[in-house]
Amino acid sequence: MNRRQQRAFKLLMWIMGLCLACYLVGPPLFWTLNDTLSSVSPSCPPCPCDCSLQPLISIPEGLSNNSILDCMRQDPEVSEEAGKSFTDLLTEELKQKEAEAEEKQRHADILLLESKKIASQYQKEADKCNSGMETCEEARERSDRALQNQMKETALWELRARQRGWKPAPKKAISHF
């Protein structure tokens, strides 16, 4: 920036600052001076008003919005509720909270019993499965022992047969069709 642009920028900033100060300080200062001047010399006498309480346009009874008037009327239910003491209201609220808590506890107890029943059923199924597995394992072990005994007996008979001169037949190639 050259020197001329710097001066223009400073002047612009000063003008903006002065405008901002007038904007902030001007209205309160105007109203203060206006009140001071008007209290010293009244400019005009007070205006006489003859305002009736009746509105210029009358609205039919059913269409009007008299919410303020409705609030002022005595409602027996509202007055009865307002007549209750604060402690009665707190007692009633406490009883409601207790009833809700008891209902939640009863529901939780029912869910707990149902979950216990389901767990018991699963445990019974698991026990059945385990006993079936044990039975299968025992039968497999028995058949394994029987197979080993049979193989020993077969080897013993083959040994006796060889001692008496038996020779196994040569193995033939099996042709597949």
DSSP per residue over 57-124, as a string? S---TTT---HHHHHHSPPHHHHHHHHS-HHHHHHHHHHHHHHHHHHHHHHHHHHHHHHHHHHHHHHH
pLDDT grade for 3, boundaries at 50, 70 and 90: confident
Q: What percent of the chain has pLDDT over 70?
A: 70
* Whole-number Cα distances in Å, 68 to 3, 23, 59, 73, 74: 70, 41, 16, 9, 12
- Residue (of 171, 147, 142, 169) closest to 155 by Cα position: 147
pLDDT at 14 over 60: yes
Q: How far apart are alpha carbons 159 and 154 in whole angstroms?
A: 9
- What pLDDT sits at residue 67? 54
Q: Which residues contact 9 (CB under 8 A, 6 or more apart)?
A: 1
* Average pLDDT score over residue span 39-59: 59
In this predicted model, what pLDDT tens digit does every residue of 123-142 receive, in sequence order? 999 999 999 999 999 999 99
pLDDT at 148 over 80: yes
CA atoms within 13 A on the CB side of 85: 3
pLDDT at 87 over 60: yes
